[in-house]
Structure 1
C-alpha cells in the first residue's frame, strides 16, 4: 500500500546552480521589507546582495546559454538566488539549534572531493564565497539528516489522488476529520490509509517530501513527481524524533548516498521556516513551504494547511 499511496515520491529541492555541475546545492514587527529581498526571522537579505549575485551569474555567459537552452530564464535565476539565500539563513538556524558545527576546513575538504574550487567554479553560477556558502549549507543538511533520520517517524492519514483539485479537497477532508473523513476512507480503501507510519530511515523517498516537514495537526497536498497525474493529500497525526531503530533490512539510508542525505536534511528546514518565519519581497515571488523555494505564484502547485484545533 505504501507504494500505491506514495508512488515515487520525489519532491526535491531543485537548485539551478547545480543544473550543470555536481554540486548539490514589509510590515509588522522585525526588519523592514524595504531594501530586503527576503526576511528570515530577524535576518534580512539585502536586495543589493541579490542584484550583485545576479550580475555575477549573468556574467557566466556560457553556463547561462546552456541554462537558456533548457528553458531557464533570468527570473528563474533570480528566484534561485533568493531561494539559496533563504535556505542558507535557515541552515544557520538549524545548525545552531542542533549543535552542528561545520568549519572552514570541512568546506575545504568537501570542495577537494568535488575537484577543487576552480573546478567547481567552472560549473557554478557564482563566485567562490557563494560556492563555499552552498557547500556549508549542504554539509549542515547532511549532518542534520545523519543526526535526526534514524529516529524520525511521521504518522499520517494519507491518500493518493489523480488531480490537484481532488488532492486539495482530500487534504481539507483529512484536516477536518470526523464523519466526512471516515466516509472518505471507507470509499477509497485502495488509495488511502489511516494512521500510517513512515520512517525516514526506511522511507527516504518520503522523508524528502512535505510529509516529514509539516507539524502535527497540519495537512497538505503536493505532486510527488511534477508532470505526472499523481497527487498526495495528507494529515499529520504524529511526529517523533526518538523512534527506535528500524531492522537492518529496512534501513535504506546507506543507499541514498550524500545527495540523498542532503535532501532529507533540507526538508528539515521546513519546520525551521515555520518557527522563524520567511517573508519574500513580492518583486521576487513568494516562499513556498512545499517546494522550499521562492516561486512565482503561478508556479505553486501544492499547499499546506495549519493545524486545526477543531479536528476531531
Structure 2
C-alpha cells in the first residue's frame, strides 16, 4: 500500500575528469505571533517555541545552545524545516512520488536504533539531529524517504550547462558577488568574463547530479548539493565552498555560475546512469533537500521579521538579509 504525502587540484582539470533573492523580508508576516505564513497556514511563535522546548527536554546539544544564548539557531532551523517539508509536499505532487508504508515503518524502526552521535564540533550535524527531534518521527522518516525518491528520480536525467569559476583569496566573497553581477548583466559575454580566470574557469560545462557527486570525490566539495542543481536556467548563483566541503581547509573559495541551460529530462551517458545506483541514502537525502528548493515559487510564504529572511542559496532561514549565504541574480535577457 502506498500513500502520497501532502502537508500544510585545478578546477578546470577536475571538471574535465527560486528566482527570488530574498522571499519574506520586510514587513510581510506582520502578525505579532506569526513565525511564518505558508500558503495561508500560520505557524505561530508559540508553535516554534513549543517545538524548541520539546527538543530541550532531552537533547544535550540544544541545552548547550541555551547556555550559550544561541537557541535562535534551533528556532530558525525548525522554521526552515517547516518550509522545506511544505516544499517536499509540492515535489511529491509534481513528481508523483510515493512512500511505501512498509518502507516507512522500517525507516522509523531504523531511526529508533542507537545512532552514532555527531562530533561535538559538528554544529550543522548536531543542529540537524536536534531539529529532527522537534517533529514526529513518522513525519521525519516520510520526508527523508520522499527526499531520497526525488533525488533518485533526477539522478538519471537532470542535465545542466554552466559557465562559471572558482574565486579565491581573502576578498573572495566580494569578488564573487562582483563576478555574479557581471554575469547577470552580460550573460552573452560570459565566456569572455570568466576566461581570464584560466584554470579556475568552466566554460559551457555540462554536468549532472552524478558529475557533482564525482567532483566531490576528487575535489572535496559537493556540487550535487549546491544551488547549481536547483536554480532555474538564466540564473546566476554565487556561494561559498564551506570549509567542511573542502580537502584544503585553509582556502577561502567561492563558486560563481551562470546556469545557461537546465534540462530535467535529459539522457545521461551509460556510465553516469550506472553510477547513480551507488549513491548512498544519506547523500540522496541531501540532494533531495536541495532539489525541493526548485519549487519555492510554487508556495506563498512569509517569514516573521523576528526570525529573519529566507535565504535561497542556503535554502534556510537566515537571521538578516546581510547574513544570507550567497547571492542569486536573474540574468539579463537580450531584447530581440
Please, what TM-score do these two structures have when normalized by structure 2?
0.75
Paired with 1:74 and 1:198, the residues of 2 have a C-alpha distance of 39
Q: Which residue of 1 aligns with 2:285?
A: 262
Give the one of 173, 178, 183 matched to 1:174: 183
> Does structure 1 residue 188 correspond to structure 2 residue 186?
no
* Matched pairs, number: 288
Matching residue of 2:226? 209
**Other-structure match for 1:98:** 95
Structure 2 residue 243 is matched with structure 1 residue 246 = no
Q: Structure 1, residues 146-172: CA drift from partner, whole Å, max 9, x if none? A: 112210011111111010111111111
Q: 1:289 is matched with which residue?
A: 312
Cα distance in 1 for partners of 2:54, 2:151 equals 32
Matched, 1:144 2:141: no
Determine the structure 1 residue equivalent to 2:162: 156
State the SS of the aligned residue for 1:201.
helix
Q: Does 1:232 align with 2:255?
A: yes
Seen in structure 2, the aligned counterparts of structure 1 residues 128 and 169 have a Cα distance that, compared at 3 Å, is closer
Instruction: Specify the alignment match of 1:88 in structure 2.
Output: 85
Query: Runs of 5+ in structure 1 lacking a partner?
Result: 8-25
Shift of 1:51: 1.5
Q: Secondary structure at the match of 1:60?
A: coil
- Bigger RCO of structures 1 and 2 (CA < 8 A, at least 6 apart): 2
**Partners of 1:41 and 1:143 in 2: how far apart?**
24
Deviation at 1:283, TM superposition (A): 0.8
> Matched residue of 1:290: which SS?
coil
Q: Assess if the C-alpha contact under 8 Å between 2:311 and 2:324 holds in 1.
A: yes
Distance 1:183 1:250 in 2: 33
Match of 1:302 in 2: 326
Q: Do the aligned partners of 2:51 and 2:134 also contact (CA within 8 Å) in 1?
A: no
Q: What residue number does 2:51 align with?
A: 53
Separation in 1, partners of 2:278, 2:38: 33
CA shift digits 1:13-57 (9 cap, x unpaired): xxxxxxxxxxxxx877xx875533123344432332212101112
Rounded to whole Å, the distance in 1 between the matches of 2:14 and 2:174 is: 18
SS in 2 for 1:110: helix
Q: In 2, are the aligned partners of 1:176 and 1:311 still within 8 Å (CA)?
A: no
Q: Is the 8 A contact 1:218 1:305 kept in 2?
A: yes
Q: Is the 8 A contact 1:201 1:246 kept in 2?
A: no
Q: C-alpha offsets along residues 107-138 of structure 1, whole Å, 9 cap, x if unaligned?
A: 2210222345xx57x97566585232222111
CA RMSD of aligned residues (A): 3.1
Q: Structure 1 CA distance, aligned partners of 2:139 and 2:194?
A: 46
**Separation of aligned partners in 1, 2:238 and 2:159:** 19
1:79 is matched with 76
1: CA distance, partners of 2:223 / 2:51: 33
Contact 2:187 2:258 in 1 (8 A): no
Deviation at residue 311 of structure 1 after TM alignment:
7.9
Q: Structure 2 regions of 5+ residues with no counterpart?
A: 1-8, 16-25, 118-128, 214-221, 244-248
What's the CA shift for 1:141? 0.5
Q: Distance in 2 between matches of 1:217 and 1:100?
A: 27
- Deviation of the 1:58 alpha carbon: 2.0
